[in-house]
Amino acid sequence: MKYLYTIVMAMLVLASCSENERMVYTDTPGIYFPDYVVGADSLVYSFRMKDTDRDTIQIHVKLLGDLLDEAGEYEVIVSENSSAVAGKHYETLQHRFTYEADKSVSSFPVVVMKPGAELDEATVMLELSLKATESLSLGYPDRVNMRLMITNQLVKPAYWDMPLALYFGEYSKVKHQRCILLMGHDFPLTKEELIGWGGLNYYSYWMQQGRVVCEYYATHTEYDEDGNIIESEKRQALPAQLIIEYFMVGANCRNAEYIDPKLVPFMYRVHEGPSVQKVKKAETIIKSMNIGIDNIKELCTPKRIREFLISIQESDKFPLISRLIGSSFAKAGYSTTNNGHWGLAASKYGHTTSPDRRFSDTRNQNQLDLFNDIQAGKVTLSPADYEKLKDEVQKEAIHASMMEVKATVIEEEWERTKIVNYMKQFIGYSFIATIDDINSRYIAVTTEDGISGIATYDKVLGDNYQFHVGHFTAVGRKTKQKYKIGNYVKVTVVEVNELSGTIMFSIDQNLTKSIKDMRKGDVLKKERL
């Protein structure tokens, strides 16, 4: 038995030695291609969202073994299996490259090219192989070949499922386009570049970008290439999130009710009711869409508006009506004079729960502390001191309101700039859109991808159109063709003005089918991106 044990142990030692000999290097350092994704040897480059027909890609090469004391050379060979053509899809490669000393990673450039529209429907492959030289051997045998896929189609990043899905959810090409639009850039080419994009704040950077996208889909209805609604994880808040939100609103209400403004000035969050004129306009337009509001009488209270929106949330018209009602609301602001918060149906309201991100909350927490000290007899506030403090808080309230408006304007202008730059590449492309507004100067439309623009009456094809005041319609003088708010239309991008931030459309056709009906056939898919 002891003899048998010795034999077994000897066999295990020999096997271990054999494995170690296979895994460790005993000669010159070796080179290999890194995994661009775990287990993948392919890298995909797409011109789809690039404003160029020529670009340079850096292909990484890694070192197995000690870092080089002095620079070495390695060779790259283009395989005969490549479908990409030199001089057409890529610049002819030089075969020999330098690997610098004291570097764990090297790279060599590949210049890719887009020959006309060939790559719109096709993908070509450039297969590259590493070749040993006098100064560098080959590393892992299964990592000395890689394929570069070149296309003009929008391609799912190979690393989307991990880690991007953690931040952006399930992939679709429509969502990919939206991510580029909202972020202002495409996702990096490789996983290494993705990680390095945000530096030490890698996770927080992509979490922040993912939050922007999720918040967009929480308020916008958008469909993927298969006609399915793109859902946001925030579209339906978890019970725990709702409880926290209710607690925060409740705390803000209670704190505003608790403090006595006669003793200590308080910075209220005030929100006046909507403009009666705008509400009546919204009601008229909604009724013209054959969506009745008789069951809730008038859109005059937050409760009635909420009930109405819930009742039509499955309608194709829901996004338009939400925008229409939202545009009638006044902007909330700050004041030491309490005028109530109409949107929350609260008699008193003040921000107190987020001092880490809002000045108003910090100020109000200080005021609550002062109020408690006065109540406890620790501090006294003379009438003169009170008036001085109230004046100070009121000035801060005015300033906070102004800065909030400025920040909103800057944010909207920034987003509009990105949208306009994005749409330059789609001049001549057609989309399905909804008419949002009609006035004496133009017809305002919004595409299903959320791109808003206008069509002046000379761009409404087929007739000479005239605006009808009170009915919010445009009618052709000859054909009597009628366009009204809520109509689905086929539009074409005809002009993009970067200075004014305006996207001009022509209206090519009045579509009678609903979005749901079009989605059942091929009409919508042909017209969408």
| Nearest in space to 72 (alpha carbons), one of 93, 47, 96 | 96
Q: Residue 77 in contact with residue 126, Cβ under 8 Å?
A: no
Report the pLDDT value the prediction gives residue 462, as an integer from 0 to 100. 81
The tokens of 353 are what?
């729960």
**CATH 2.40.50.140 residue window(s) in the chain:** 427-527
> Helix and strand tally (H, E) in the chain?
13, 19
Report the pLDDT value the prediction gives residue 97, as an integer from 0 to 100. 94
**CATH 2.60.40.2030 residue window(s) in the chain:** 30-151
- Residue type, position 171, single letter: Y
Q: Inform me whether the pLDDT recorded for 264 exceeds 70.
A: yes
- Mean of pLDDT values over 143-161: 87
Report the pLDDT value the prediction gives residue 292, as an integer from 0 to 100. 62
- Mean of pLDDT values over 426-445: 89
The pLDDT-based confidence of 522 (bands split at 50, 70, 90) is very low
Report the pLDDT value the prediction gives residue 273, as an integer from 0 to 100. 82
- Residue type, position 84, single letter: A
| Nearest in space to 487 (alpha carbons), one of 515, 520, 518, 462 | 515
Report the pLDDT value the prediction gives residue 360, as an integer from 0 to 100. 95
Report the pLDDT value the prediction gives residue 17, as an integer from 0 to 100. 46
Fold of 30-151: Immunoglobulin-like (2.60.40)
Report the pLDDT value the prediction gives residue 524, as an integer from 0 to 100. 41
Report the pLDDT value the prediction gives residue 328, as an integer from 0 to 100. 79
Q: Inform me whether the pLDDT recorded for 431 exceeds 60.
A: yes
Q: Which of 20-24, 165-169, 315-319 has the highest mean pLDDT?
A: 165-169
pTM: 0.55
Report the pLDDT value the prediction gives residue 297, as an integer from 0 to 100. 55
Cα 89-93-96 angle, rounded to 5 deg: 160
The pLDDT-based confidence of 199 (bands split at 50, 70, 90) is low
Would you give the end-to-end CA distance of the chain in angstroms?
A: 75
Strands (E), 233-343: 268-270, 333-335
Q: Residue 346 in contact with residue 263, Cβ under 8 Å?
A: no
Helix (H) or strand (E) holding 379: none
Q: Residue 316 in contact with residue 433, Cβ under 8 Å?
A: no
The pLDDT-based confidence of 285 (bands split at 50, 70, 90) is confident
CA distances to 185, 300, 360, 361, 373 from 394, rounded to whole Å, are 41, 30, 11, 14, 21
Running DSSP on this structure, what letter comes out for residue 272? P
Lowest mean pLDDT of 15-19, 133-137, 240-244, 470-474, name the range: 15-19
Q: Inform me whether the pLDDT recorded for 1 exceeds 50.
A: no
If DSSP codes are grouped into helix, strand and coil, which group holds residue 310?
helix
Report the pLDDT value the prediction gives residue 335, as an integer from 0 to 100. 95
The full DSSP string for 28-59 is S-EEEPPPSSTT--EEEEE-TT-S-SEEEEEE
The pLDDT-based confidence of 506 (bands split at 50, 70, 90) is very high
> For all residues of the chain together, what is the average pLDDT?
82
Report the pLDDT value the prediction gives residue 22, as an integer from 0 to 100. 41
Lowest mean pLDDT of 231-240, 250-259, 367-376, name the range: 231-240
Report the pLDDT value the prediction gives residue 14, as an integer from 0 to 100. 45
Give me the residues paired with residue 31 across strands.
63, 138
User: Over the Cα atoms of the chain, what is R_g?
Assistant: 32
Kindly give the pairing relationship between strand 123-131 and strand 72-78: antiparallel
The tokens of 186 are what?
């495409």
Give me the residues paired with residue 482 across strands.
475
What is the CATH architecture assignment of 427-527? Beta Barrel (2.40)
Q: Inform me whether the pLDDT recorded for 330 exceeds 50.
A: yes
Q: Inform me whether the pLDDT recorded for 508 exceeds 70.
A: yes
Residues 279, 282, 284, 286, Cα dihedral to 10° = -140
The pLDDT-based confidence of 236 (bands split at 50, 70, 90) is low
Q: Which of 1-15, 104-118, 230-244, 510-524 has the highest mean pLDDT?
A: 104-118
The full DSSP string for 331-349 is PPEEESS---BTTTTBSS-
Q: Which strand ranges, in their side-by-side order, compose the sheet holding 123-131?
A: 42-46, 145-151, 123-131, 72-78, 96-99
Considering Cα of 77, then 83, then 85, then 91, what sign does the dihedral take? Answer: negative
Lowest mean pLDDT of 31-45, 100-114, 413-427, name the range: 31-45
Report the pLDDT value the prediction gives residue 56, as an integer from 0 to 100. 93
Lowest mean pLDDT of 51-55, 73-77, 345-349, name the range: 51-55
- Mean of pLDDT values over 343-369: 93
Q: Inform me whether the pLDDT recorded for 354 exceeds 60.
A: yes
The full DSSP string for 151-171 is ESS----TTIIIIIHHHH-S-
Q: Which of 370-374, 442-446, 473-477, 518-522 has the highest mean pLDDT?
A: 370-374
Report the pLDDT value the prediction gives residue 515, as an integer from 0 to 100. 56
The pLDDT-based confidence of 527 (bands split at 50, 70, 90) is very low
- Mean of pLDDT values over 94-107: 90
If DSSP codes are grouped into helix, strand and coil, which group holds residue 385?
helix
Q: Which strand ranges, in their side-by-side order, compose the sheet holding 30-32?
A: 105-113, 54-64, 30-32, 137-138
